[in-house]
């Protein structure tokens, strides 16, 4: 298809996956509203319908819990094609049935983008209405995912990271005792080739973590204290640090001096804490199991989000550029979700190697802001090339470019419209 035809197809995907103000990632495999999916989708809608972009984000925050958490799934209707559904989660934290943990908090960044894209200033009013929600959510992360004030955010479940099947979780998962789960039937493998999905033994542990959290009624303090899985994640940490910088900008634009001062404290805490994720031998930020203290031994795509978070010191940026060039020599398309030189790399299995469009977008944005326009453009061109060759798949092989996972995927379409499409590039120029 031509670029114009791809633009139209991407718009059609968003419109067809629209459920009346919120968007599902793709039909069948993911029939509900997912947290960071919706926020990236808003970027796509913003290219042709600003009001609809705002509605996507506003509907996400309708499901915010009383304690401030914004869940990773909102179960707005009963759909038996998905497992685990609301009855398995057993939560009661907010006004909409939901999962029991969150996802990477990209919302503040996208809301700032929507504000900056609106010359009329009306968008700032909608941002003002959401500022208390954002403050409460960010405060929740610091309270319950960094309870010791270390300046890094942990995840209580691989799903909370948004990068569910990453090799970095393997060892911490093996320490999770499989219990209290009973018989179950997965639905994901009926939609997608099982060779592209997590193994059953991983899924058993996913459900065991949920059972442990359910046993303490999803009380966030008890979950942080007792959950068998509690791993500091550079991905969520870096996305959160970036989101705080953008939240600070919004607070300043709105004249919220008290909130702005609080956010500055959050930023200082996170900047200091990020150093503890630096693996001196690997020369990259990695996950750290906070139960065992052990650091991961591989370079994931999240390591490349450090510049996106504003961490662009010479050592960090230089090391990432060297890793970037090394990996570019190993694969046809960047950025694989895990280092192709690592023994756990799998080019088509969920998060163990495939390329994801929205991760490329964030990495490229960080490189561009750090002044490395060449590597940023390489990522944009690779992302556009993957979509042009294989359509709007959930993710792609870094080796062949083949699309994998779900098809007609909303956030892939959104990233095409907002960033990867040559049409967007021409308009920006």
* Catalytic machinery residues: 164, 394
Chain position carrying tokens 């630096």 = 278
Q: What are the percentages of helix, strand and coil residues in the chain, rounded to 5?
A: 55, 5, 40
Query: Distance between CA atoms of 19 and 160, rounded to whole angstroms?
Result: 24
Strand 231-232 and strand 154-155: the pairing is antiparallel
- Nearest-angstrom CA–CA distance, 140 and 276: 21
Structure tokens at 396: 């792609």
Q: Distance between CA atoms of 240 and 103, rounded to whole angstroms?
A: 10
Rounded to whole angstroms, the Cα distance separating 232 from 278 reads 12
Q: Is the dihedral of CA 280, 284, 285, 288 positive or negative?
A: negative
Q: Which two tokens stand for residue 84?
A: 């685990």
Q: DSSP for 228-275? A: S--EE-HHHHHHHHHHHHHHHHHHHHTT-HHHHHHHHHHHHHHHHHHG
**Side-chain half-sphere CA neighbours of 169 within 13 A:** 30
Residue 118 and residue 219: Cα distance in Å, rounded? 39
Where do the H-state alpha helices sit in 344-402? 357-369, 373-390
């Amino acid at each position: 298809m031509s670029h114009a035809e791809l633009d139209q197809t991407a718009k059609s995907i968003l419109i067809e996956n629209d459920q009346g103000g919120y968007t599902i990632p793709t039909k069948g495999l993911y029939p509900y509203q997912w947290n960071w999916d919706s926020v990236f989708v808003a970027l796509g809608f913003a290219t042709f319908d600003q009001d609809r972009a705002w509605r996507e984000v506003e509907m996400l925050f309708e499901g915010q819990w009383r304690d401030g958490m914004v869940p990773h799934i909102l179960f707005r209707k009963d759909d038996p094609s998905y497992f685990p559904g609301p009855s398995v989660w057993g939560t009661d934290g907010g006004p909409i049935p939901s999962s029991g943990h969150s996802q990477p908090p990209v919302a503040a960044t996208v809301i700032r983008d929507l504000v900056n894209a609106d010359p009329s200033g009306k968008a700032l009013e909608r941002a003002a209405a959401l500022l208390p929600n954002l403050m409460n959510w960010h405060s929740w992360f610091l309270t319950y995912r960094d309870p010791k004030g270390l300046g890094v955010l942990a995840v209580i479940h691989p799903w909370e990271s948004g990068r569910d099947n990453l090799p970095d979780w393997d060892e911490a998962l093996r320490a999770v005792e499989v219990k209290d789960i009973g018989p179950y039937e997965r639905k994901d493998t009926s939609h997608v080739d099982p060779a592209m999905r997590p193994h059953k033994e991983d899924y058993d542990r996913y459900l065991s973590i949920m059972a442990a959290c359910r046993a303490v009624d999803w009380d966030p303090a008890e979950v942080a204290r007792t959950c068998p899985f509690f791993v500091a994640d550079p991905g969520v940490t870096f996305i959160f640090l970036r989101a705080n910088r953008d939240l600070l900008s919004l607070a300043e634009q709105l004249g919220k001096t008290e909130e702005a001062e609080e956010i500055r404290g959050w930023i200082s805490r996170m900047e200091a804490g990020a150093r503890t994720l630096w693996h001196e031998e690997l020369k990259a930020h990695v996950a750290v199991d906070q139960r065992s203290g052990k650091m991961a031994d591989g370079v994931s795509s999240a390591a490349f989000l450090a510049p996106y978070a504003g961490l662009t010191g010479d050592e960090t940026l230089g090391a990432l550029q060297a890793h970037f060039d090394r990996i570019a020599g190993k694969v046809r398309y960047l950025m694989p979700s895990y280092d192709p030189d690592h023994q756990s790399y799998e080019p088509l299995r969920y998060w163990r190697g495939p390329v994801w469009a929205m991760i490329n977008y964030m990495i490229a944005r960080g490189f561009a802001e750090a002044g490395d326009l060449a590597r940023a453009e390489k990522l944009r061109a690779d992302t556009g090339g993957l979509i042009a060759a294989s359509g709007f798949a959930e993710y792609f092989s870094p080796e062949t470019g083949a699309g994998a996972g779900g098809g007609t995927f909303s956030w892939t379409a959104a990233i095409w419209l907002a960033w990867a499409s040559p049409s967007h590039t021409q308009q920006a120029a």
